[in-house]
Amino acid sequence: MTITVRRAGPLDTREMAEILAALIEDGAATAVSGPVSRADIAEWMAFDPGRSAWHVAENAAGHILGFQFIEPNPALPDACCDIASYVRPGQGGVGIGSALFDATRRAARALGYTAIVAVIRADNAAGLAYYQSRGFEDWQTWHDAPIAPRIVKRHDL
C-alpha cells in the first residue's frame, strides 16, 4: 500500500471527523467521548497554529487513512507538545502511524519543541504499543482521568 503524508487542511476535516467518530463508537481507542464534527476538527486545527502541526496519511486514491497532530498544552512545559494519533479502524499495522510520526517528529523539531508527550488510555493496548515502538518512555500516570486511567509517555527529540 502506498501511503502519502502531507499537512492537513480544512478540506480534510470531514474524513478526519469520520475516522474519529468510528473510533469513538468503538470506545476503546480514544479518550474523546462525545460526537465530533467537521467543524470541531476545524476549530481544533485553528488552535495556536504557530505552535501546532497537523498531518494526514492518505492512500493512492487520496482517501485519508489516519491523522496525527501536535499542539502546545498549558499543563506541559513550553518545550513539550501534546500528540494525538488516529488511524481508520481496520487499517492498523500497515505503516500509517510510522509515516505520520516521521512527519510529526520533523515538525516538532522545526517548531522548537524538545519533547513530545502522549497521554494514552491505560486500556488502549494498541496505542501504548504504538508509542512505545516510536521510542516514547513512561513518564507519568494519571489515575483519576475521565473515562479511564492514563499512561503519560514522553519522547525526547
Q: What is the 3-state secondary structure (H, E, C) of 73-94?
A: CCCCCCCEEEEEEEECCCCCCC
The three cell numbers of residue 65 are 487513512
Q: Which fold has domain 4-156?
A: Aminopeptidase (3.40.630)
pLDDT score of 36: 87
pLDDT score of 147: 73
3-state helix, strand, coil in the chain (%, to 5): 30, 30, 40
Maximal CA-CA distance, the chain: 42
pLDDT score of 131: 95
Q: Centre a 10 Å sphere on the Cβ of residue 140 and count the other Cβ atoms it contains.
A: 11
Query: Could you tell me the pTM of the whole model?
Result: 0.91
Q: Centre a 10 Å sphere on the Cβ of residue 84 and count the other Cβ atoms it contains.
A: 19
Number of residues in the chain: 157
Residue ranges per structural domain of the chain: 4-156
Q: Would you give per-residue pLDDT tens digits along the chain (157 residues)?
A: 799 999 999 999 999 999 999 888 876 566 666 778 999 999 999 999 999 999 999 999 999 999 999 999 998 999 999 999 999 988 777 799 999 999 999 999 999 999 999 999 888 888 999 999 999 999 988 888 777 788 999 999 9
**Contact 54/35 with Cβ under 8 angstroms?**
no
